[in-house]
Amino acid sequence: MAKTLKITVIGAGSATFSLGLVKDLCLTENLKGSVVSFMDINMERLENITALAERYSKELGADLRFEKMTDRREALQDADFVINTADVKGHYHARALRALTAQHGYYYGAAGIGSFYNFELMLGVARDIEAICPDAWLIQSGNPVFDGTTIMTRQTRAKVIGLCHGHYGYLHICQELGLDPAKVTWQAPGVNHAIWMTHFLYEGKNAYPLLDKWIQEKGPQYWETHVAERTHDIQMSKGTIRMYQMFGLMPIGDTPRQAAWWTNTDIETKMRWFGQPWGGPDTELARPVHVEGLEKRLAQVAAVSKDPSAKVSDVFGTTKTREQQVPIIDALANGVGGMFQVNVPNKGGVLEGVNEDVAVEGQAWIDQTGVNPLRMTPLPKKIMLTQIEPKVNAMERGILAYLKGDKELLLYNILENKQTRSYDQATAVLEDLLNMPGHEEARAHYSGRKK
């Protein structure tokens, strides 16, 4: 008989995420009977999602129990697992940020003040866990996963696992190459949003030659004719393949979004490298489509929750998602062991060339003994120098600026942006960013001159 667990979800108003989680819990035999504590600061979303979750669970006969909380510390009482999926400022604030920085000559929000608000939240959650439920696992599911997992595990004793979807990009490669994923073995280690495919085997044999063949024979036509149906569909784009050629390994998932500044300067350049119709996920054309999708889902949640006659499972389905949260909970709590792609501190140096207190992403065997990361094949020196080290350096600068309240370092971080053309441009955009509505706490935090 499996143990009854309490699972707390911070930022539970995120509809797609929470319903997916509930579905996975309902469909996981071991976890029936668990208590799910939904916590959010948005009461309306919280009520909708809780009502829906209760109906969902009943329809599937899963016997889950639900709580809804606006008080975080209350929600954490007796938690065995905490899933943090919150993004403090959200999509509308990000849009306002992009509009402001565009006035200073930055394309698509390239300049910013770092992760002040999400760091505050993450550290708040991790410290509450230390105080209230110190044995709980914190599954960090909101960005920045890399920086956040690193800072939380340095500043607190919370047990953190950072999760992301990016690694599923390998499935997209399989699909284009016509390979059955069940016969594919792969590894893509690195740090979150910078993972590079060190191993790609099909039926036990190196499949990189198949990729090279595709590039030569099918690539040009694909790049001319392919029209993305999802904004994030860039795994086989001209830009991603060019990065593979330049750096020597295939960048996976979110990696090509950030690996080369020269793909990210303006919409024409975006289209050139990431294709039709949006030029990848990070453009003024793509973002509204993505946010519209999220809003549709929220509206759907609201509509179904107001219609007691609707069957929730008809609307949201009865197949498991491919999210890792619930299987990881089942592994840790009930010993249903499995291999997962996770972000945890590089303790023991599983990824060579990265400090032990930096969160790295790679495969780990998880069961009741805990998270057991696989020692990764070292990444080629070229990728370490051009991709991993600069990314770790930027993460460290962001954390240091935050911890010290160092405005000069914020300025440096903006100056380092490839889109910054001059000192005056950087100082001006920083002032405007700190004076922006909604940034009052950040402004106060960075108001002293500390060194």
CB 428 → its own copies: shortest distance, Å? 13
What are the tokens at 433? 């960013």
With CA atoms as reference, report the closest residue to 46 among 65, 69, 24. Answer: 69
User: Which residue is catalytic, options 40, 254, 282, 330?
Assistant: 254
Return the number of the residue (158 or 243) whose C-beta is nearest its own copies. Answer: 243
Give the one residue of 43, 99, 131, 246 binding its own copies; rule: CB under 8 A: 246
- Assess whether 87 carries a catalytic annotation: no
Is residue 262 a contact residue for its own copies (CB under 8 A)? yes
Query: Which listed residue (47, 87, 396, 432) binds its own copies by CB under 8 A?
Result: 396
385 touches its own copies by CB under 8 A: yes
Nearest-approach distance from CB 409 to its own copies, in angstroms: 6
d(CA 308, CA 293): 24
Q: Is 220 exposed, middle or buried (0-12, 13-18, 19+ CB in 10 A)?
A: exposed
Q: Which residues contact 433 (CB under 8 A, 6 or more apart)?
A: 97, 100, 101, 111, 112, 113, 439
Footprint (CB under 8 A) of its own copies, residues 53-112: none
Q: Which is nearer to its own copies, 159 or 257 (CB)?
A: 257
8 Å CB contact between 63 and 396:
no
Distance CA 318, CA 315 (A): 9
**8 Å CB contact between 64 and 21:** no
The residue from 110, 174, 409, 434 that contacts its own copies (CB under 8 A) is: 409
For 123, 126, 159, 230, the CA distances from 155, given in Å and listed in that order, are 8, 9, 11, 37
- Annotated catalytic residue within 91, 93, 165, 199: 165
Q: Is 261 near its own copies (CB under 8 A)?
A: yes
If one asks whether residue 423 binds its own copies (CB under 8 A), the answer comes out as yes
Cα dihedral 290/295/297/301 (nearest 10): 170
Answer whether 330's CB lies under 8 Å from 336's CB.
yes
Q: Is 232 one of the annotated active-site residues of the chain? A: no
Stretch that binds its own copies, among 17-25, 59-67, 178-186, 391-399 (CB under 8 A): 391-399
For residue 393, state whether it binds its own copies (rule: CB under 8 A).
yes
Our CB check for its own copies shows the closer of 77 and 386 to be 386
Phi, psi angle pair for 371, to nearest 5°: -95, 120
Catalytic (active-site) positions = 165, 254
Q: What residues make contact with its own copies under the rule CB under 8 A?
A: 245-248, 260-263, 265, 269, 380-382, 385-386, 389-390, 393, 396-397, 400, 406, 408-409, 411-412, 415, 418, 420-423, 426, 451
